[in-house]
Structure 1
Amino acid sequence: MIQQLSFRAAARLCVLLAAPVAPVAMALPALGQSFGNPDVVKVDVLPGWREADGTHYAGVRIQLAPGWKTYWRTPGDGGIPPQFDLTGSGNLVGFAPHMPRPTVFDEDGLRSVGYKTEVVFPLRLSAETADAPIALNGSLFIGVCEEICMPAEVQLDAVLTAPGQSSALIAAALEAEPTRLNTPMTCAFEPTEEGLRVRAVVDAPQQNGEVAVLELPDPMLWVSHATTAREGGRVVAEAEIRSGHDGPIQIAREDLRLTLISAGAAYDVQGCRS
């Protein structure tokens, strides 16, 4: 928590030193509100629908000015991953954000992973009382980038009622999530002078222009851009792992995640076979 707070404080300082984007509330129907500088980014809540078991599917839509982008959970060079904080919400016992297939951008030797124009992040929310409204009250912290990059924190404020109504935008974003592969992934780790090198191999459908992204949940472990190659029907991804911790790097094999991204599809596999 201390690391997160200090990161946000530093990010806000960067905004002040660069070109600040002040959040400005904009009127919407009572089910949601929109925030942001309309010249760069607008964020609004899509109310969505309630399942019989109390699960509510809502969405957060981000609309970006031409040329601007925002980031996926593994943002690449210089990006900021989306961070949701819904601790102030009522009738909410848990939530999980979902992220549709991103695009890989290679610009001036830098690689980033994210979205341009518009993206919807579905939220799977668990209501404590299944048929009562969820009072959504929290924030979303994102990075936006064009020629300059800046962080922005926007407020999320909406009343989500049951049963709600279906949303084509939320449904499409859920459908666009990377497809989970059930085939086993094998991994080999080799010590280097600065950390570890990992080689991950998994059977996956081949796509044109595919790029593998390797990630670990520990924010103190840095994973480099992966090289992506093919050996028959298998994708081979290799990357360097370095640590901000003192001492040797310790990795649980089940924590390594590989996502294979192309313009037409994305595939996801979690954990290395023992």
Structure 2
Amino acid sequence: MASSHASLLEKELIQKTEFQRTFVEQAPDPSTENINAKLANPLAGLSHDKLIADGEAFAKSHNLGHLSALFQKGALVAQDPLAFDSLPLLTNEDKEVLRHEIANKWDQPKMLYYLVILCSLAAAVQGMDESVINGANLFFAPQFGINPKASSGDPSRNQWLLGLLCCAVLGCWLTEPLNKAFGRRGTIFITATISFLACIWQGVTNSWPHLFVARFVLGLGIGPKSATVPVYAAECAPPPIRGALVMMWQMWTAFGIMLGFVADVAFFKVPNTPHVTGSTGD
């Protein structure tokens, strides 16, 4: 009887030891938890004095010293957005504005909605750049002596098919240096201008190598623009509606793709009269 009881205790001890070992093995790594917390909120754990000092230093370093008080308040609120009522640095007017922002998330400044419209247009143009070329393929390929259906011949003559893809991949790598040098708005302006001019350039090409170069340059505009506009929208949008405004990029890109195909259909039966290529259609 005693040996049976001892055996039972031994089994329980073994099971308890195994459970403790498993619990320790599955316990989260403290270093990982700290990293995740830092990524979730870089301001977590900082004292109010530190936040106030950092806010003032940031404002002065960017020649915004006259707005130091606003940056100090912003740093305090950013640390814990829902605890603004307990911040002594905020005035009653400041707190009322924050309460209104939480209760009325779509009541935003007109400039924000202006930004939404511009970002939507950028996405729509992006989609049109991608799809409108499909209709043009029916006409410029025969004019340039390109037979996409041929299984033989010189493969290099079909390189125009890769122009946009190759340079979009290359252009994406230019996103970081362009943003660092010109900022978000500067990068968007430069790349949108490149895209605009490259589209006109494609319309006046007279050979497939010429078209390839134009498509290549278009990719330089499309790559950084497609990466910068959503980031800029996310940075400007308040947290309650940030997801909706960032997702608009994909929605309006799809809308632009549709517009591109609509334009293809609209111009499909337009007579192909002699133009810059010197060709005469049927």
Structure number with the bigger relative contact order (C-alpha 8 A, sep ≥ 6) is 2
TM-score range, shorter chain: under 0.3
Q: Please identify which structure carries the higher strand content.
A: 1
Q: Which has the higher helix share?
A: 2
Structure 2 length-normalised TM: 0.21
TM-score, structure 1 as length reference: 0.21
